[in-house]
Amino acid sequence: MKLVLDLIIGATVGAIEGGSVFFAREEPYKVEITLAAALKGLLTGLLIGFSLGLRDPWWKGAAFGSLYGLALALVVFLAKGGFRSKDAPYVVPAGLVSGAVIGILIALLAL
């Protein structure tokens, strides 16, 4: 595993996911949300990198990524108040998809 590339992939995909907050005009904490999403992606990438073996296929990376992305997105979802928050339900599917993308990229490029 190439640890630095693994972390770069996770942080980049997470920052792209979190960067979508710049389309919400009423959000006051755009930079903080983007940095938190980059950190979430970095942690997801780290978990995926330690879970995959050297010869594992891309779909296994996508499966681990979906699992870890969903788990970390649920943490954010619950921390923001769950369904009582108007924006929190959108975090879960985005975490699932970004985790899968991170897993595929790590399986193809960082192992």
What DSSP letter does each residue of 3-42 carry, written as one string? HHHHHHHHHHHHHHHHGGGGG-TT-S-HHHHHHHHHHHHH
Residue 109 pLDDT class (50, 70, 90 cuts): very high
Q: What pLDDT is stored for residue 97 in this prediction? A: 95
Q: Residue 31 has what pLDDT? A: 94
Which pLDDT score, from 0 to 100, does residue 66 have?
A: 96
Q: Looking at the whole model, is its pTM more than 0.95?
A: no
Segment 70-89, tens digit of pLDDT: 999 999 899 888 888 887 77
The pLDDT-based confidence of 108 (bands split at 50, 70, 90) is very high
pLDDT confidence tier of residue 102, bands split at 50, 70 and 90: very high
Is pLDDT at 103 greater than 90 in this prediction? yes
The pLDDT of residue 14 is 94
